[in-house]
Structure 1
């Protein structure tokens, strides 16, 4: 599999959030809170946060987008941040192989939801 040049990998959270309109949280659910806490100082207001992890936080019963929002609010970042949750029935390997697939998104703001592009093999429902 060839990863497009537009996709960049980094371990530096500040670099990952810098000059981005959309910030993707693609970490295991048990690490969503700690990742959000680390990233919060580097996420300016007005950004779109997309979470692809599934589940709820056992101790708080919050959804994972609520967990991210909670950490951003603790850091004073909550105005004009839009949260999107992505869910199945797709698998990452289908997307990576450019196989036709549909994914479900959920957010409180319809306009934010519609900003996501739909590709020929990737449909957002």
Structure 2
């Protein structure tokens, strides 16, 4: 597990590149809310948009999720806990007036960037 990248994954870098090329500026790996002990991968403070790039295994992707045969009970509980934490994070951000966007690692970066760009532009009042 130590070899798993926590940040700067291929999809995250591709997404950030697309967003930067579109003229959007953002912060990376920051807490959207100081009291929230979770970092978003990409944060647009002015628009109050937090983008999370989720790995299919770690967050239980409905399309690609798998569970290991060894120590199955541990992994099922771990992945369900991650998904529950994701839902709690989204709810806390929503309650604070933020929009959270979840991007799966298997999604195309250009499609994800188009979604993020549309939400940021609509919430920032520009364009």
**What TM-score does the superposition give when structure 1 sets the normalisation length?**
0.31
Q: Which has the higher contact order (CA 8 A, sep 6+)?
A: 2
Q: Which has the higher helix share?
A: 2
